[in-house]
Chains A and B, each alone.
Chain A
Amino acid sequence: MFPAPFEYHRATSIDETLALLAKHGGDARVLAGGQSLIPAMRFRLARPAVLVDINALHELSYLREEGGMLAIGAMTRDAALETSALIASKYPLLADTSALVADPVVRQSGTVVGSLCHNDPAGDWGVTALAGRAQIVIRNASGTRTVAIDDFLVDSFTTAVGEGELALEVRFPTPPPRTAGSYQKIERKVGDFATASAAARITLDADGAITGAGVAIGAAGPHAMRVRDAEQLLQGAKPTKELIRAAADAARALADPVADNRGSVEFKKDMAGVLVGRALIAAIGRLGVEGLR
């Protein structure tokens, strides 16, 4: 299938991008890696009249730490995270995620910010962004604002990015000492949408108690969801098998998946719990605490 006809603009600056987006309003979509948008257009699930291609904006392709945050630009591709020494050494949650998005060829084009803006219910980055307490920087002609990921993910395929706006970057707080994360996903085959997915990010204090907990699940609702009940259970507690089981059960209770040929509602709810458990065990294991399996 071919996409419906559209008008193509290749932007050469952020200002030009914003001007084009302002001019075309709701008719326009930003084209970054295109790995979600182009298939959606081919299936006629999306029919933007105007595409503003930002692939030439090399200034939006970066991974940099500044002000206690890791900033990932709008044109930073998944493969850049997968091969980054900084990500491998300090951001295991992001390293895990970047290695599980779609397939290795798709990751050479797809972008982190583009995936967040697409906000597919089964997308990977929304789950990780919730667990990692990310923020999105959004710019329009009159200025820049920063939106917490919880407010950014509005509904399936809908985000806080409004007409005339460009998501410039996503920022992940740099992990404090004794912090690790993990992303877990079940898929029928490489490149398929997740059957279920989960992310966890845990900080331990010197006594081994949890002082920071981020837990989220994917493919279990209209978009990635924070498992607040699990986070509250974990906060202040010492990791035990029972605690992890309780956090996993909180994910099972929250999960509201749709049955399809990847699995029944019952199976997917269970997998949300299983994967939260695995993500917690892996994250805490990375901090040297074993014996939770």
Chain B
Amino acid sequence: MNISVTVNGKPYQRDVEPRTLLVYFLREALGLTGTHVGCDTSSCGVCVVVLDGDRAVKSCTMFAAMADGHEITTVEGLVQGGKLHPLQQAFWDCHGLQCGYCTPGMLMTSYALLKHQPNPDEPAIREALSGNLCRCTGYQNIVKAVQQAAAETNAPAPEPVAT
């Protein structure tokens, strides 16, 4: 079957088998390998992408056919104009990753969280990320990074400097 999706703002049309899972479609049909495959059974969250702007989904547990006509944001879509997304910058600044394998899922789950709750407290962040596994960091710095990104996103724009 033929599907049309918009991924990171770019439209794509591809023929897929109905049984093609979204994560394999993104990685193999579109070459967007930023989205990882981990447990492949909906447990670990490394494959999380964002559907229609604010819904985090585990792309190993969704058929590409179900995304027909929808918009998908993957980790590759976070950078804007060559500048890291505040979440990415915060993960960098706070050392919110070690091996990095879980990071795309952490970023995309956090991205959807901040769309719904721009100012989550620490328990809300830990709860939101409870379906995303990290085997390196112990989560401390991931939580800090999301807090930093939320604070930055909510900060008022800097005053223009008087000239």
A positions within 8 Å CB-CB of B: 1-8, 10, 31, 34-35, 38-39, 41-42, 51, 53, 55, 83, 102-106, 108-109, 190-191
- For the complex formed, measure the closest distance between the CB of B89 and the CB atoms of chain A, giving whole angstroms: 23
Q: Chain B: residues with CB nearer than 8 A to chain A?
A: 1, 17-19, 21, 40-43, 45, 48, 55-58, 61-63, 65-66, 68, 109, 112, 116, 127-132
Across the interface, A2 reaches (CB within 8 A) one of B21, B42, B109, B129, namely B21
Asked if A105 and B63 make an inter-chain contact with CB atoms under 8 angstroms apart, the answer reads: no
Least Cβ–Cβ distance between A27 and chain B, in angstroms: 14
> Which residue of B1, B21, B57, B68 is within 8 Å of A105 (Cβ)?
B57
Inter-chain contacts of B58 with A (CB < 8 A) = 105-106, 109
CA distance A190 to B126 in the complex (A): 11
Please, which residue of chain B has its CB at the minimum distance from the CB of A50? Answer: B18
Q: Are B131 and A190 neighbours in the complex by a CB distance under 8 Å?
A: yes
Question: What B residues does A55 contact at CB under 8 A?
Answer: 66
A87 to chain B, nearest CB (A): 16
Which residues on the A side are within 8 Å of B42 (C-beta)?
35, 38-39, 106, 191
Assess the A104–B19 pair: CB atoms within 8 A: no
Residue among B17, B42, B109 facing the most chain A CB atoms (10 A cut-off) = B42
Say how far B56's CB is from chain A's closest CB, in angstroms. 5
* Bound CA–CA A113/B41 (angstroms): 21
Task: State in angstroms the CA–CA spacing of A39 and B63 once bound together.
Answer: 11
Complex partner residue of A191 from B40, B57, B65, B131, CB under 8 angstroms: B131
